[in-house]
Amino acid sequence: MGKKLVSKKQVGVKRVFDLDIAHNHNFAANGTMVHNCTEKGAQKFFESAKPKSITDIAALTSIYRPGPLAADVDKLYKEGKNNPEDVVYDHPRLKEVLEETYGTIVFQEQIMIIAERVAGLPPEECDSFRRTLTKRSMAKKDKAVEELRGLKVKFVDGCMGYSEMSREKSEELFQKLLWFSGYGFNKSFNSNTLVSLYTEDGDLIAKQRIDKVQAGSFVRSRCERTNSEHYVRVVANHDHGQLPLWQIELESGKTVECTLDHKFRTECGQMLPVWQIMRDHLSIVEN
C-alpha cells in the first residue's frame, strides 16, 4: 500500500553515491524501491543506447519521457554517445560538466554545477537557481515571471563576466537550462542510505551504508510484473561528492534522505520527483 510524504526538512549538504547494478533492475534502499526500467519501450531504448555505467542509466531514465522524446532528445543523446568527438561545447567549463552526458543537459546536478562553474554564482545560490527553473511552470503569477527574468539577467551577466562567453552564447545556454530543467533527473543517494546485502541465494548478510557497499555484493531487487524477488550484483559504487539533501518523512514514520528531485515509484505507476509527489499529495510504493 502506498504511503504519503508528510513532511520534509533540509539536512545540509552530504556526500552522495550511486550503485551500478547488473542488468536493468530495481533495488531496495531504506526499504524503498528506487530504480526500475520495466516498460518495453524504455527497455528497447536502453538496449539501443547501450549504457555502460550508472550515469548512462540515469540519463536514459530521465530522457525516456514524453517531452524529451517528442523533442528528439533521445536521438541527440545517442548521437553524442556514438560520436563523442563530434560534440561541440561552447566553453571548456561546459565540457567539464556535460562530457559525461555527451553534451546534453540531463541531470539536475548539472544545472547547479553550470550555474556555479560557468556563471560564477555562489554555491549557496545554485540550488535556489535550479529550483526556480524547474518549478517555473507551477506558478503563473507576475512575481514568478519577474523572478525568472531577474535570474536570467544574473546568469547571463555571470557567464559573460566569469567565463567570458558572448552574450549570444550566454543567453542560448540559459534557454537550454530552462528547457532541459523540465525533465532533469538527479542521480545520487546520500551516504546514510542503508542497503541490505545478501548472498547470491538470498540470505541476508548485513545492512550497509551505501558508501561502504563494494562491487560484487548482492542486493535485493523485484520484478514489478511478477512481484518476484531477485538478488542482483553490484557492479560499481560511484562517489558524486557533496550535494544538498532533504529528509523526507512518510506517514508510516519512516524517513528517507534524498534530493527533492529524486524520483520514487508512485501508486499510479509513474516515477515522480519528491517535490511533485508532495505537491500533488501522491503516495509512493514502499517495499
| 215-252 confidence digits (pLDDT tens) | 888 887 755 444 456 787 877 666 656 656 677 777 77
Q: When comparing pLDDT for 223 and 277, which is higher?
A: 277
Listed ranges 52-66, 104-118, 244-258; the one with the highest mean pLDDT: 104-118
Q: When comparing pLDDT for 237 and 84, which is higher?
A: 84
- For 178, half-sphere exposure in the C-beta direction (CA atoms, 13 angstrom radius) is 15
- pLDDT band for position 159 (cuts 50, 70, 90): very high
Q: When comparing pLDDT for 260 and 56, which is higher?
A: 56
The CATH H-level (homologous superfamily) assignment of domain 2-42+188-285 is Hedgehog/Intein (Hint) domain (2.170.16.10)
Alpha carbons 193 and 285: distance in angstroms, whole number: 17
pLDDT value for 139: 43
Q: Please indicate, yes or no, whether the overall pTM of this predicted structure exceeds 0.75.
A: no
- Residue intervals of the chain classified under CATH 2.170.16.10 are 2-42+188-285
Distance of CA 138 to the CA centre of its chain: 20
- pLDDT band for position 46 (cuts 50, 70, 90): confident
**Angle of CA points 220, 224, 229, to nearest 5°:** 30
From its phi and psi, is residue 36 left (phi > 0), alpha (psi between -120 and 50) or beta? beta
CB 71 within 8 A of CB 63: no
Cα–Cα nearest to 35, from 72, 14, 60, 13: 60
Cα–Cα nearest to 78, from 60, 52, 99, 105: 60
Q: When comparing pLDDT for 144 and 98, which is higher?
A: 98
Q: What average pLDDT does the structure give for the chain?
A: 75
CB 63 within 8 A of CB 137: no
Average pLDDT over residues 26-37: 51
Helix axes 73-82, 40-49, angle to 10 degrees: 30
